[in-house]
Amino acid sequence: MEVKAEQTISPTFPRKDKIIFLYELLMAILALISVIFIWNDSHWVKNIDFIIWLIFVVDVSVRLVRSDNKIQYLKKNPLDLIAIIPLDSIFRLARLARLVRVLRALAILKHYMQPLHAILKTNNLDKVIIFLVIVIFISSIPIQYLEPSIKTYNDAVWWAIVTSTTVGYGDISPVTVVGRLIAVFLMIFGIGLLGLVTSSVASYFMKSNTGQESSTVVYMKGQVEKIEELSNDEIDRLKTLLDSYKKHG
């Protein structure tokens, strides 16, 4: 199949794939929530974690029932089983296994959200975001111990996030010199990140308009290269994309 340089095809995916992506993204968010509060023993956190645990149990059960080869599924997804261990109140680190959902969601982002992946790679935006996340978690440590109005590490992380992304709500204000210096740094870095995001999005669309291969074509080529590893569902999706490309090409 020949691809003309001047052709640009917007990535179109079946409605089913979009629903799958949103579902996996939701599961990733639930996994993060569960892990963030891994050491919090308050009553409301336990209730939320129990609800999340039930959702994961249903999710894994449905996947297992729908799997053609259940033994193979269990071999390939041992973390799924660990993630729903009901004794994780004792073995708390078992909750970390739920992060497999995050990795799965990131993989889906890469395959089904090619434009977003390309934007993150523009101007090293992905590395800057990772650096900001690291800074947020590190800067929260001194804030927790220096600021009298911040009692827990969770509150310190919350303060660092809102300060770097919204220049602060004003509900928690640092009063120490070190705390204010950290706040200024986070504000400046957050404003710089906003500018970088804007420029990365603009750069991506400018490149798209200069004749780059569409993300759909790139995705299809990648799938064809590893076609022997694809599941039946993934092959069906690829066929749907090829049919769509043929009609609009």
Write out pLDDT tens, residues 126-179: 888 888 888 899 999 999 889 888 888 888 888 888 888 876 666 678 889 998
The answer to whether position 181 is within a domain reads yes
Whether residue 62 is found in the same domain as residue 97: yes
Query: Whole domain around residue 188: which residue ranges?
Result: 121-208
Give the residue-averaged pLDDT of 89-110. Answer: 54
Whether residue 130 is found in the same domain as residue 192: yes
Whether residue 107 is found in the same domain as residue 162: no
Whether residue 204 is found in the same domain as residue 153: yes
The answer to whether position 138 is within a domain reads yes
Higher pLDDT, 87 or 2: 87
Q: How far apart, in whole angstroms, are the C-alpha atoms of residue 142 and residue 114?
A: 38
Higher pLDDT, 34 or 248: 34
Q: How far apart, in whole angstroms, are the C-alpha atoms of residue 242 and residue 239?
A: 5
pLDDT tens by residue, 15-25: 665 677 677 76
Specify the pLDDT at position 115. 63
Using the CB atoms, write b or e for 136-175: b if 16+ within 10 Å.
Answer: beebbeebbebbeebeebbbbbbbbbbbbbeebeeebebe
Whether residue 41 is found in the same domain as residue 108: yes
Q: How many domains are contained in the chain?
A: 2
Does residue 8 register a pLDDT over 60?
no
User: Could you tell me the pTM of the whole model?
Assistant: 0.45
Alpha helices in 67-152 (DSSP H): 70-76, 78-83, 100-112, 114-121, 125-146
How many CA atoms, within 13 angstroms, populate the side-chain half-sphere of residue 175? Answer: 8
Whether residue 126 is found in the same domain as residue 108: no
Where is the domain boundary, 60, 77, 112? Answer: 112
The answer to whether position 216 is within a domain reads no
What does the mean pLDDT of the chain come to?
A: 73
The answer to whether position 241 is within a domain reads no
The CATH number assigned to the domain holding 145 equals 1.10.287.70
